[in-house]
Chain A
């Protein structure tokens, strides 16, 4: 089972992608939810908000405990900030991957942008990349594998147990990163060779499937 940290932010977007790959997944926010997870996604959102809630409700120590047990973690955007060992100008939170990160590094929403890149370890195609008020990874320490370097910063990196992306694969039709993380967690996603990196059935409103007014 892969959990998506459900305190705030882009939760349903990640659940939608995992479901597309047929991977069992749940939103998690109570300490008891974490014990059977092989992987955890910390989504995009506001890292200060998530960090406060994690601390108040004892989620931080649960994540650290389950990480020691072997749970893999993927952080997107704000999630990356929470996982970094060093944050420019402020104390770190979970400190689970040796990278230095600079918060909100591109400017305001007017500087948010779309790009694309090929990341051979993840998929042999050009992948769409969405940066929203994104941070920059400014340094990667020893034992951290840089997956994508762009201009003056690192946009994706991994260690054996942690994956970080400062962009948002869950906001595109790209399922390659979710497949890559699922493999890291020990899953063998269905049809992974035959499935394209971009799910043609996805569109920018797909997240709403998980957030209908008529649900329940």
Chain B
């Protein structure tokens, strides 16, 4: 990918800022998401809550299903490839969707290497739990970052932990003399040049969305106030009992995240949210955020 193409891909993510990207599993859900004001949809066969429940190997979705969703909406369409599965990524690129999520929600195909994203023209978004992980993905060619959170739980605690960690590490870099950056970058697995860039910009050099466990308008506004540029909602919408209403409410709360009266208005009478999961009750082997490195 040449530099211009990469910049165009970062810039598409810039145009998504302040918006909500929703997981959808069929055409009907995609239309509900678009109608509610989603800025993009993530097309996949099973939302993370179902992947978690059903177990087994989770792979890229059927391209025919992704194509149907692509035909049904005018907003950008994203889809997930397994970590390290560059052939799934090649298929999604041939399908001409708009963004690939190299995602820990699917079962990793490679436990040592992520996809070399610089080989592709299509943009990638990747998950992170801390600044080092975000910068390693950017070094590999990711044009957009999201916190991992813990997908499919309806529990925002891990997403909060991840954005707070990223922000703390950015503030540490900004506050340190330049000669300390080398050691700090080495200790935290950060590519040095990117650590220097973060220190100068005082943020990630690409757009950073929140993901993993966002289930209510208040969760979305919380992540925005913590400094995220936008929101991914996975299971939170279509596992609740009134998806259309909840989708609209999360869009409103994301746009007006710093206006408590409007977040209040968005929070009223939504019916039941998705059932939540306590992180401590999930067997360690079933935690998704630990996939990838």
Q: Could you list which residues of chain A lie within 8 angstroms of chain B, going by C-beta atoms?
A: 6-13, 29-30, 44-46, 48-49, 52-53, 56-57, 77-78, 103-104, 107-110, 112-114, 130, 132-133, 168, 171, 204-205, 207-209, 211-215
Whether the Cβ atoms of A109 and B203 lie closer than 8 Å is no
Stretch binding the partner chain, chosen from B44-52, B57-65, B251-259: B251-259
How far apart sit A168 and B252, CA to CA, in the bound complex (Å)? 25
Whether the Cβ atoms of A52 and B201 lie closer than 8 Å is no
- For residue B12, which residues in chain A have a CB less than 8 angstroms away from its CB? 109, 112, 132-133
- Any A CB within 8 A of the CB of B170: yes
How far apart sit A208 and B205, CA to CA, in the bound complex (Å)? 7
Whether the Cβ atoms of B8 and A52 lie closer than 8 Å is no
Known: A45-B18, A133-B12, A211-B203. A109 touches B7 (CB 8 A): no
Stretch binding the partner chain, chosen from B93-101, B146-154, B270-278: B93-101
* Chain A residue nearest in CB terms to B94: A110
How far apart sit A131 and B46, CA to CA, in the bound complex (Å)? 33
Whether the Cβ atoms of A49 and B98 lie closer than 8 Å is no
* Contacts across chains A and B counted by CB atoms under 8 Å: 134
* Chain B residue nearest in CB terms to A214: B202
8 A-B residue pairs with Cβ-Cβ distance under 8 Å, sorted by A, are A45-B16, A45-B39, A46-B16, A49-B39, A52-B248, A108-B77, A212-B202, A214-B202
Whether the Cβ atoms of B4 and A213 lie closer than 8 Å is no
Whether the Cβ atoms of A53 and B15 lie closer than 8 Å is no
Whether the Cβ atoms of B34 and A48 lie closer than 8 Å is yes
Q: Min CB distance, A14 to chain B, in Å?
A: 11
Known: A208-B205, A213-B202. A8 touches B255 (CB 8 A): yes
Whether the Cβ atoms of B15 and A9 lie closer than 8 Å is yes
Whether the Cβ atoms of A77 and B15 lie closer than 8 Å is yes
- Any A CB within 8 A of the CB of B14: yes
Known: A53-B37, A56-B252. A132 touches B17 (CB 8 A): no
- For residue A108, which residues in chain B have a CB less than 8 angstroms away from its CB? 70, 76-77, 96-98
Residues 1-44 of B contacting A (Cβ, < 8 Å): 4, 7-12, 14-20, 34-40
Q: Could you list which residues of chain B lie within 8 angstroms of chain A, going by C-beta atoms?
A: 4, 7-12, 14-20, 34-40, 70, 74-77, 93, 96-99, 121-123, 167, 170-171, 174, 197, 201-203, 205, 227, 229, 248, 251-252, 255-256, 259, 262
Whether the Cβ atoms of B201 and A208 lie closer than 8 Å is yes
Most buried by A among B11, B93, B202: B11
Whether the Cβ atoms of A204 and B202 lie closer than 8 Å is no
Whether the Cβ atoms of B202 and A8 lie closer than 8 Å is no
- For residue B10, which residues in chain A have a CB less than 8 angstroms away from its CB? 204
- For residue B20, which residues in chain A have a CB less than 8 angstroms away from its CB? 49
- For residue B35, which residues in chain A have a CB less than 8 angstroms away from its CB? 48, 52
Known: A7-B18, A108-B98. A53 touches B255 (CB 8 A): yes
Known: A46-B16, A49-B38. A213 touches B170 (CB 8 A): yes
- For residue A168, which residues in chain B have a CB less than 8 angstroms away from its CB? 11
Whether the Cβ atoms of B37 and A214 lie closer than 8 Å is no
Whether the Cβ atoms of B17 and A9 lie closer than 8 Å is yes
Whether the Cβ atoms of B255 and A29 lie closer than 8 Å is yes
- For residue B77, which residues in chain A have a CB less than 8 angstroms away from its CB? 108
Whether the Cβ atoms of A48 and B74 lie closer than 8 Å is yes
Whether the Cβ atoms of B174 and A109 lie closer than 8 Å is no
Whether the Cβ atoms of A213 and B39 lie closer than 8 Å is no
Q: Min CB distance, A169 to chain B, in Å?
A: 12
How far apart sit A43 and B203, CA to CA, in the bound complex (Å)? 22
Whether the Cβ atoms of A13 and B96 lie closer than 8 Å is no
A46, A48, A171, A208: the one contacting B11 at CB < 8 Å is A171
Q: Min CB distance, A82 to chain B, in Å?
A: 13
- For residue A13, which residues in chain B have a CB less than 8 angstroms away from its CB? 14
* Chain A residue nearest in CB terms to B93: A110
How far apart sit A16 and B255, CA to CA, in the bound complex (Å)? 20
Known: A48-B74, A213-B203. A107 touches B170 (CB 8 A): no
How far apart sit A13 and B7, CA to CA, in the bound complex (Å)? 14
